[in-house]
A and B are shown apart, each in its own frame.
Chain A
Amino acid sequence: EAGVAQSPRYKIIEKRQSVAFWCNPISGHATLYWYQQILGQGPKLLIQFQNNGVVDDSQLPKDRFSAERLKGVDSTLKIQPAKLEDSAVYLCASKKPGQGARETQYFGPGTRLLVL
């Protein structure tokens, strides 16, 4: 079974530029998550999708971050304009439908963003 795919793996941009990340979850996984992991910290949820609907985006800085999952499969996360403090690893995870919180989230390799 193929894992969660993410691209690009690395990105370097200047502040105030825009950037987009892509995620393709494990086939059949209805729930998709984007997490931000700042160096030295644990991942923090940015947004959660169930199929193509948003379940939780309470921690998403909506003035600069946006995300979509139009067809309920792959997803993109965009930052516009980027700030220095957005430098982090952006992790995508997916979970199959089933027993809710009992199910395991599986993570992709992440996209490492450096904002200069």
Chain B
Amino acid sequence: SAVISQKPSRDICQRGTSLTIQCQVDSQVTMMFWYRQQPGQSLTLIATANQGSEATYESGFVIDKFPISRPNLTFSTLTVSNMSPEDSSIYLCSVGSQGRAFFGQGTRLTVV
């Protein structure tokens, strides 16, 4: 199994600002995934992050709003840009291994 650490675990941010979420994995992985869980909703995939290439975004998500970095095989960041209250969600980092996805503890973001 993979151990995933996310920072920060929670934050309260002013609208119009940006927040960068960090994800560190204890082993090298090819792909890392970023999900969002809006209040009372399911987990929705934002993007897939490959090391050495641009992230691949799912429908409804764009790079300008959610820029992602993947500088090496154990680390990734997701930035939530120009935040509005609608961005209040739990953001989760995930990696895959042997047919399973492992998740970090999530970052609970509240935008006021």
* A and B associate: no
